[in-house]
């Protein structure tokens, strides 16, 4: 979201940036293949408005981000879909954060999840445009609590 969001100490981007530099024990290099996907997940974690964020997912500075979610290999409550799934190269392919109490602008940083094939943000309080990168994916499923929440978009 640019320098403005990172400079705003209340923004999820600033909090994610701080976590990656000060807390994250993975100490990823600037050219690490998973740097951006890790950053995006920490942004989303910081967008949650709940005391018990672990009900949806947890972040852990000692683990690869594909292993953060308690439901990563299992399924979200009431569904057969995993909240997060990664391919054999540990790249995020699906992200189902419906009902995770996400609030705010849909982060433009989602564009960094270039291997993403499915996303579900239903039952959250998100606003703003869906990043154009997401609209270009084939067989892409987008649901958000958004002015277009009633529409099912498959690209």
Asked whether the predicted pLDDT for residue 154 surpasses 80, the reply is no
Higher pLDDT, 101 or 133: 101
Higher pLDDT, 68 or 42: 42
Residue-level pLDDT at 137 = 52
With beta carbons less than 8 A apart as the criterion, state whether 120 and 97 touch: yes
Higher pLDDT, 138 or 132: 132
Asked whether the predicted pLDDT for residue 147 surpasses 50, the reply is no
Residue-level pLDDT at 20 = 95
Q: What is the DSSP string of 76-124?
A: -TTSSS-SEEE-TTS-EEEEE-TTS-BEEEPPGGGGG-TT--EEEB-SS
With beta carbons less than 8 A apart as the criterion, state whether 63 and 118 touch: no
72 band by pLDDT with thresholds 50, 70 and 90: very low
């Amino acid at each position: 979201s640019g320098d403005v969001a990172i400079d705003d100490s209340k923004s999820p981007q600033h909090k994610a940036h701080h976590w990656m530099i000060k807390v994250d024990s993975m100490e990823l290099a600037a050219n690490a293949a998973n740097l951006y996907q890790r950053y995006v997940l920490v942004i989303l974690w910081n967008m949650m408005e709940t005391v018990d964020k672990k009900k949806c997912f947890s972040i852990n500075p000692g683990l690869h981000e594909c292993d953060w979610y308690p439901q990563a290999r299992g399924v979200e409550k009431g569904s057969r879909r995993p909240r997060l799934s990664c391919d054999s190269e540990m790249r995020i392919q699906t992200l189902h954060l419906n009902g995770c109490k996400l609030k705010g602008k849909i982060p433009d940083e989602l564009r960094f999840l270039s291997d993403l094939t499915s996303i579900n943000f239903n039952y959250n309080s998100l606003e703003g445009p869906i990043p154009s990168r997401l609209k270009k994916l084939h067989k892409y499923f987008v649901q958000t609590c958004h002015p277009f929440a009633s529409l099912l978009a498959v690209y």
